[in-house]
Amino acid sequence: MPPKIRGMNANSTPSKAAIRRFTLMLSGEDALDEHESRGAPRQGLPHECFLLGELVPLAPVLLLGQSDQAVNPAEVIACLQPVHLHATRDHLILMGQNQIDLTTEESAQLLNAALPFIEEDFQGSVLFHDQHYWFVPAGPFSSLTSYSVDQAHGRNIDWWMPRDTEVDGIAKRWRKLQNEIQMLWHIGPVNEEREQRGMPSINSIWISGIGKLNDVEVPEALKQSQHLIGQNPILTGLARYLNIAHKNNLDGQVLAGAFAWLEQPQLAWPQLSAALLNKQLDEVVIIDFPKGKARERIFTTKDLHKKSWAFWKKAEPLTWKEITQA
């Protein structure tokens, strides 16, 4: 029999309590056709919506994951990130953070230059900053609909720029600030030095994740977990938010009751299937997002091998490719 499959939403409740269950979440991609039919992209990648809820308050959760400071659960926070916009013949494409090799020193210099503009327009002070993320109370920009760098990278930014929701003119106000900072950085020493090294310029600033901790809607899969495993700062922030133990990497001694979101999940599958065979685990749950919709599949020992009508042949184990393409 194939593994049990059921559709789910962020707050679906498992049909039974697993005694020794390991949950593995895979990253999801946008269902772009659906977005285009509605005339606007959906805010948040499928896994971001699953972990945080439909309002996708990324900024305050990332702030929890990046710093040790207390976060006011009722304060609306925005995340700012220095980025590179690559010019094509007729539009601009956002490059991901892993493509620009921004250093900690460069990030600090860029922030210092832009800080007077940011504090004036946001009407508040920066709460925390590191190499890739700057956090500030959203202030006048609280009502913007925005999209994360992970969601918008590699795409035409015209489709992914912040949009007005409750108040008209806020998106235009953001674009004005964005343009001012772009011009400031264009003539600054950071980009002069990067040009000499043949690096892409840091030629724009991106806003995303606007929301507050009170907007977070945590799925049952996380609430029922005893350990969170993974290096993504979203998971680090949720671990702190839920007061759950967190590890960056998979630990063979801590499997039962764990929820993992791994950069290379295929490398974990041999260990997880072995844990099922040796009775260390009763179930491995895989959560993925075909066509943008959350799906949960439960694998037990009997689901680890391909089913064949040739009963006299030794059953072959399922490969990771077969599991993810099912």
In order, the DSSP letters of 224-282 are T-SEEE-S-HHHHHHHHHHT-EEESS--TT--TTEEE--SSGGGTHHHHHHHHHTTS-S
| Whether residues 69 and 187 fall in one domain | yes
Here the tokens at position 142 are: 């609280």
| Whether residues 203 and 97 fall in one domain | yes
**Is residue 177 one of the residues assigned to a domain?**
yes
| Whether residues 106 and 18 fall in one domain | no
Span 111-132, pLDDT tens digits: 999 999 999 999 999 999 999 9
Output the average pLDDT for the chain: 88
pLDDT score at 14: 47
| Whether residues 208 and 61 fall in one domain | yes
> Which residue in the block uniquely carries the two structure tokens 């041999």?
270
Residue 34 has pLDDT above 60, yes or no: no
* Rounded-to-integer distance, Cα 18 and Cα 255, Å: 13
State whether residue 217 is helix, strand or coil: coil
* Rounded-to-integer distance, Cα 289 and Cα 45, Å: 10
State whether residue 317 is helix, strand or coil: strand
| Whether residues 187 and 310 fall in one domain | no
| Whether residues 240 and 209 fall in one domain | no
**Is residue 36 one of the residues assigned to a domain?**
no
| Whether residues 205 and 238 fall in one domain | no
* Rounded-to-integer distance, Cα 221 and Cα 105, Å: 39
* Rounded-to-integer distance, Cα 152 and Cα 150, Å: 6
Could you tell me the CA-to-CA distances from 269 to 7, 33, 166, 179 in Å, in that order?
Answer: 22, 31, 45, 46
| Whether 172 contacts 161, CB under 8 Å | no
The whole-model pTM stands at 0.87
**Is residue 46 one of the residues assigned to a domain?**
no
Here the tokens at position 254 are: 């801590």
* Rounded-to-integer distance, Cα 59 and Cα 137, Å: 10
Could you say which of 197, 215, 233 is where a domain stops?
Answer: 215
> Which residue in the block uniquely carries the two structure tokens 């099912």?
326
**Is residue 310 one of the residues assigned to a domain?**
yes
Please give the span between the terminal C-alpha atoms of the chain, in angstroms, as a whole number.
14
* Rounded-to-integer distance, Cα 173 and Cα 176, Å: 5
* Rounded-to-integer distance, Cα 260 and Cα 249, Å: 9
Could you say which of 215, 241, 256 is where a domain stops?
Answer: 215
* Rounded-to-integer distance, Cα 29 and Cα 44, Å: 10
Q: Domain containing 248: what range?
A: 4-29+218-324
**Is residue 234 one of the residues assigned to a domain?**
yes
Span 139-160, pLDDT tens digits: 999 999 999 999 998 888 888 9
pLDDT tier at 252 (50, 70, 90 boundaries)? confident
Could you say which of 215, 237, 258 is where a domain stops?
Answer: 215
State whether residue 41 is helix, strand or coil: coil
pLDDT tier at 315 (50, 70, 90 boundaries)? low
H or E element at residue 195: helix 189-196
| Whether residues 166 and 210 fall in one domain | yes
| Whether residues 168 and 271 fall in one domain | no
**Is residue 45 one of the residues assigned to a domain?**
no
Buried b (16+ CB within 10 A) or exposed e, 1-11: eebeeeebebe
Q: Is 294 exposed, middle or buried (0-12, 13-18, 19+ CB in 10 A)?
A: buried
pLDDT score at 310: 52
Give the mean pLDDT of 170-191: 95
Q: Which of 15-29, 74-88, 175-189, 290-304 is predicted with the least confidence, judged by mean pLDDT?
A: 15-29
Domain tally for the chain? 2
